[in-house]
A and B are shown apart, each in its own frame.
Chain A
Amino acid sequence: MKTILIVEDDKKISLALGHRLRSMGFNVVTAEDAIYAMNETVRSSPDAILLDINLPGGDGFVVAERLKASNQFANIPIIFTTASKKPIFRERAKQCGGVGFLEKPFGVLQLTNAIDACFH
C-alpha cells in the first residue's frame, strides 16, 4: 500500500483529505508544519507528499528544497496545495520540481489527476 504524507496546518482540511485518500486506498500520514514534515518524511518515507505552501515555521517551498537537496528523499513526488492565488507560487512550485499544483478549494477529480501524475 502506498503512503501519502499530508502536510497541512489546517486540521480540518488535513482530516478531510485523510478520509479522502484512505478511501482511495492509500496509507495516510500527516504533519502540521515544516519541521514535522521533515521528521515525518524520515520516519515513514512516503511515496508522495501533498504539501501546503503556507505553513508555520517555514513555507512549503523550504520543505521541498530540503527534500530535493537530500539523497534519500529527492525523488519523492510533491503536489503543492495553496489557497492563495498569487501567480508567483505557481512559478516557484514548478522551480521546486512540484509534480502537481492544486489550488484550494479543489475537487476530487483534480486530486486524483494529480496523484495519478505522481505514480504514472
Chain B
Amino acid sequence: MGGYASGIFKASRYSLLTRNGKPANQLQMNTSDGKNDLVNILMIEDDVIYRALCKRYLAKDPNYTYNVVSTTSAAGALRMCNLHKFDCLIIDYNLPDSTGTQLISALRATLGEDMPPAIVLTAEGGIDAATEAVRTDASDFLSKNKVSARSLCRSVNNAVEKGFLKTAVSESSKKLTVAYEQLQQNSVEIENFYHTISHEVKTPLTAIQEFLSLINDEVAGPITEQQKELLGYSLESCTQISTHFNDLLDMARVESGKLKLNKVWDSPNRLLERSVRGVEGVAASRGITLKTLPCESTTELYIDVNRIVQVISNLLNNAIKHSEDNGSIEIELGITQGNQFEFNITDFGCGIEKSDQSKIFDRLYQVDSQRDCAFSGGLGLGLSIARDIMHLHDGQLLVDSEIGKGSTFKILLPVQLH
C-alpha cells in the first residue's frame, strides 16, 4: 500500500464515531504497535470456541491490528451496528434467531450506504447458503471447517480495504458536491455584486452623459467647434465606461451559467451590416477602410443576433485598435468545406506572437504593453467573452497571425436546417 492508500485508511480510522456522533467508548484505538491500522470487527457467532479460534487467526494478520467485538445473535448485531461504526462484519450463517443472509438484508435496510462489508461463514457443504450469501451482496463467504488463519485474514483484508475505499470515495464525492455548490453560490454572489456596482456607476454616468450631450446638442446655447470636439471625447469615454461594466456582467453571467441565448434565424449579411455600422465612426476617425465581401449564399443562421453582433464588433474593434492609421481591414464571409459558416476578420497591423496566441482568449489576459503595439487599457475580457459566446453557439473562434503582418480572427458557426 502506498502513501495514497494509507491516507485513506487514516481518515477511516479517525472516523471511529458512534452513530450519534460521539466517540466510541467501548472501542478503543490502538496504534502504538508497528502494524498499519486498528480495524474494528464485529463477529456474530454463537459458538464460543469458534469465536476464540477466529480471534486467534486474526491476531496473526501482519497487515492490520484488529479490535474484535462479538455478539451471539442477529438482534445483538443490529443493536451494535446502530451504535458503532465497524469496518467489517464476520457473520455465522446459522444464527440462533436468524440466518446470516437475513441479517445482512436487515442491516442494509437500516444502515443503507453505511453498511460495513460482511463475510459469511457457512457450514460444511452449505452450497445453498453460499449462493444466498453472494446474492445478498456479502463481500465473501468462507466454509467454516476450511477456514485457516491465511484465508480468514485475506478475506477480512479484502473486505476492509474495499470498505475503506468505498468510504473514501463517498467522502470525497460529498466534499466535491459541497465545493461545487459553494462555487456556484459564489459566482451567483459575484454576479449580483457586479449588477449592483454596475447599476450604481451607470446611474451617475447617465446624468453625465445626458448633460454633456445637452451641451453638445446646443440645447443650452451655441458652442464652438472646438468645444464640440472636446465634448465628443467625453461622450466616447462615457460609452467606454458602460461597455466595461457590460463586459464584467457578461463574464459573471457566463461564470454562473446564466448567460442564455435568444436564438432566431437571421442572414449573415445583415449581421455584418449591423456590426460594421457600430464601428464605422471609430474606423473613419482614423482613416481606416473596412472592406467587406458579403456572402452570395442565402443561408440563414440560427443564432442570438445581439450576441453574434457583439462578437463581430469586438473583433472589429480589436482589429481597428491594432491597425495603423489609414490602414484597412477585410471582412469575408462564406461557407467552409465542412459546411460551417465562417466570418474572417483580417487586419494588417502588428500581429500577435505565437506564444500569445493561445492566451489571448483567456479571461483578463492582455499582451504585455511592451509587445502590444496598441496597448490601450481595456479589461482583457473581449476575446474571452467572444469565445464563450461562440461555444454557447456550438461554434468556434480561432486566430491566425504573424508578427508584423497582421491577424485573422475566424468565427465558425454550424449551419443548421431551417
CB distance from A85 to the nearest CB of B (A): 5
- Contacts A104-B203, A105-B238 given; does A86 touch B213 at CB 8 Å: no
Q: Are A105 and B199 in contact (CB under 8 A)?
A: no
B195 within 8 A of A: yes
A65 within 8 A of B: no
Q: Are B206 and A107 in contact (CB under 8 A)?
A: no
> Which of A10, A20, A85, A107 lies at the interface centre, i.e. has the most chain B CB atoms within 10 A of its CB?
A85
CB distance from B80 to the nearest CB of A (A): 56
Interface size class of B (residues with CB under 8 A): 20 to 34
> Which of B199, B211, B214, B220 has a CB less than 8 Å from the CB of A83?
B199
Residue of A nearest to B209 (CB): A105
B202 within 8 A of A: yes
> Which of B207, B209, B214 lies at the interface centre, i.e. has the most chain A CB atoms within 10 A of its CB?
B207
> Which of B199, B210, B242 has a CB less than 8 Å from the CB of A13?
B210
CB distance from B274 to the nearest CB of A (A): 15
Q: Are B203 and A85 in contact (CB under 8 A)?
A: no
Bound CA–CA A104/B206 (angstroms): 6
Residue of B nearest to A81 (CB): B206
- A-contacting residues, B230-264, CB 8 Å: 238, 242, 246, 249, 260
Residue of A nearest to B202 (CB): A83
Q: Are B198 and A16 in contact (CB under 8 A)?
A: no
B219 within 8 A of A: yes
Bound CA–CA A23/B249 (angstroms): 34
Q: Are B214 and A85 in contact (CB under 8 A)?
A: no
CB distance from B263 to the nearest CB of A (A): 15
CB distance from A55 to the nearest CB of B (A): 12
B217 within 8 A of A: yes
Chain B residues near A10 (CB-CB < 8 A): 203-204, 206-207
CB distance from A65 to the nearest CB of B (A): 22
> Which of A16, A87, A105, A106 lies at the interface centre, i.e. has the most chain B CB atoms within 10 A of its CB?
A105
Chain B residues near A108 (CB-CB < 8 A): 213, 217
Q: Helix, strand, loop or mixed for chain B's interface? A: helix
> Which of B195, B209, B214, B238 has a CB less than 8 Å from the CB of A84?
B195
> Which of B203, B204, B214, B249 lies at the interface centre, i.e. has the most chain A CB atoms within 10 A of its CB?
B203
Residue of B nearest to A19 (CB): B214
CB distance from A88 to the nearest CB of B (A): 11
CB distance from B90 to the nearest CB of A (A): 61
Q: Are B214 and A12 in contact (CB under 8 A)?
A: no
CB distance from B204 to the nearest CB of A (A): 7
Q: Are A105 and B217 in contact (CB under 8 A)?
A: no
- A-contacting residues, B9-58, CB 8 Å: none
- Contacts A85-B198, A85-B249, A108-B217 given; does A16 touch B210 at CB 8 Å: yes
Chain A residues near B217 (CB-CB < 8 A): 23, 108
- Contacts A84-B195, A85-B198 given; does A20 touch B205 at CB 8 Å: no
Bound CA–CA A54/B196 (angstroms): 12
Chain A residues near B238 (CB-CB < 8 A): 105
CB distance from B360 to the nearest CB of A (A): 25
Bound CA–CA A75/B131 (angstroms): 80
Chain A residues near B203 (CB-CB < 8 A): 10, 13, 83, 104
Chain A residues near B242 (CB-CB < 8 A): 105
Chain B residues near A29 (CB-CB < 8 A): none
A17 within 8 A of B: yes
CB distance from A48 to the nearest CB of B (A): 18
CB distance from A112 to the nearest CB of B (A): 11
Bound CA–CA A85/B250 (angstroms): 10
> Which of A15, A19, A86, A104 has a CB less than 8 Å from the CB of B202?
A104
Chain B residues near A54 (CB-CB < 8 A): 199
- B-contacting residues, A68-92, CB 8 Å: 83-87
What are 25 A-B residue pairs whose CB atoms fall within 8 Å in the complex? A10-B203, A12-B204, A13-B203, A13-B206, A13-B207, A13-B210, A15-B207, A16-B207, A16-B210, A16-B214, A20-B214, A20-B219, A23-B214, A54-B199, A83-B199, A84-B195, A84-B199, A85-B195, A85-B198, A86-B195, A104-B205, A105-B202, A105-B209, A105-B238, A105-B242
B contacts, CB < 8 Å to A = 195, 198-199, 202-207, 209-211, 213-214, 217, 219-220, 238, 242, 246, 249, 260
| Given A15-B207, A83-B203, A85-B198; 7 other pairs, CB 8 A cutoff | A10-B203, A13-B203, A13-B207, A84-B199, A104-B206, A105-B210, A105-B238
